[in-house]
Amino acid sequence: MRENLPSLVEAVVDALEGHLRQRLEEQRPKPLGLATGRTMVPIYGELVARLQRWPADQLEHLRRSWCSFNLDEYVGLEVADRRSFAAYMTRHLGKPLQLSPQQLHLPDGEAINPEHQAGSYAAQLQSFGGVGVQLLGLGSNGHVGFNEPPCGPEASCRVVSLSQSTRQQNAASFGGDPSQVPSQALTLGLKEILAADEIHLIVTGSAKAEILKKLLNSPCTEKLPASWLRNHARVSLWLDQLAVAGEKVPEANLSSKLI
């Protein structure tokens, strides 16, 4: 646990920067698995600042070899719409790091046949060998990606209907009106998430205290999709003091490595 958000961000980015340096030595590194949302904004900001301080040749090597797959995208939003996750990734990583859209893979929310797009996206990820390091946030109802409850570990990439609580949680980007949040999304499933070599679950702020308490004290259950992460061999759980809210975090309760 970190005392505050800035120290947590520093620690998470330390881990990510180390992973990215390691990637420079690999012939065919696996893609990064990326998430969106408010939790990730300061992390991407600090990561960009760190990478821009790298020696020019190392940064250029990283740019050329960059490959990432995002968890999800709204169905029906144009890529150019500022509220789309494609636009989010361009703002926070693509533009500042001078990455091409072809290096930042996301599901196509404009696809005529979203169900077919889900299968194609899963197959594309598999063709790259699956995710190396996966970043995750935690939804207020226990979702990861857009895997809403109930959801089991065999759920694969698919079209999902978003719950009212998720639309409420994401309403800030839509003028505060949950009814303006798309009702469907494309998401990688728990099957693809749990296939990652390494997972980092980042939980910050007092708004996540209640769901974090449930997660830490819950068995694996479809009612709390994030609970299935405890079956993964390499999960790091990153918490700030506001999220913990006095809850005692048992060693290795969720994962093999608690930060």
Secondary structure (DSSP) of 119-152:
HHHHHHHHHTTS-SEEEE---TTS-BTTBPSS--
Catalytic-labelled residue, pool 92, 105, 143, 200: 143
N- to C-terminal Cα separation, the chain: 6
**Stretch among 87-91, 174-178, 215-219, 252-256 having the lowest mean pLDDT:** 252-256
Catalytic-labelled residue, pool 46, 70, 73, 141: 141
- Reference 169, options 160, 158, 157, 181; nearest CA is 181
Asked if 148 is an active-site residue, the reply is: yes
The domains of the chain, with CATH numbers, are: 5-258 (3.40.50.1360)
pLDDT at 253: 43
Q: Which residue has the higher pLDDT, 63 or 250?
A: 63
Name residues whose C-beta falls within 8 Å of residue 119's C-beta, 6 or more positions apart in sequence: 157
- Residues 148 and 166: beta-carbon distance below 8 Å: yes
Give the distance from CA 40 to its chain's centroid: 8
pLDDT at 39: 94
- Residues 182 and 75: beta-carbon distance below 8 Å: yes
pLDDT at 247: 65
Question: What percent of the chain is helix, strand and coil (3-state, nearest 5)?
Answer: 45, 15, 40
- Residue 106 burial (CB < 10 Å; 0-12/13-18/19+)? buried
3-state secondary structure of 254: coil
Catalytic-labelled residue, pool 72, 110, 192, 198: 72
- Reference 47, options 86, 93, 87, 105; nearest CA is 93
pLDDT, averaged across the chain: 93
Q: List b or e across 1-16, with b for residues whose CB sees 16 or more CB atoms inside 10 angstroms.
A: ebeebeebbeebbeeb
Asked if 177 is an active-site residue, the reply is: no
- Alpha helices, DSSP H only, in the chain? 5-23, 41-51, 56-65, 85-89, 95-97, 114-127, 164-169, 190-194, 209-216, 241-244
Residue bearing tokens 């995208």: 73
Give yes or no for residue 206 having a pLDDT over 90.
yes
Give yes or no for residue 3 having a pLDDT over 80.
no
Asked if 141 is an active-site residue, the reply is: yes
Q: Characterise 108 by phi-psi region: left (phi > 0), alpha (psi -120 to 50), beta (else).
A: beta
pLDDT at 26: 85
pLDDT at 120: 98
CA 152 → CA 183, 218, 224, distances in Å? 21, 14, 9
- Reference 110, options 144, 135, 86; nearest CA is 86
Give yes or no for residue 74 having a pLDDT over 90.
yes
Catalytic-labelled residue, pool 148, 192, 198, 240: 148
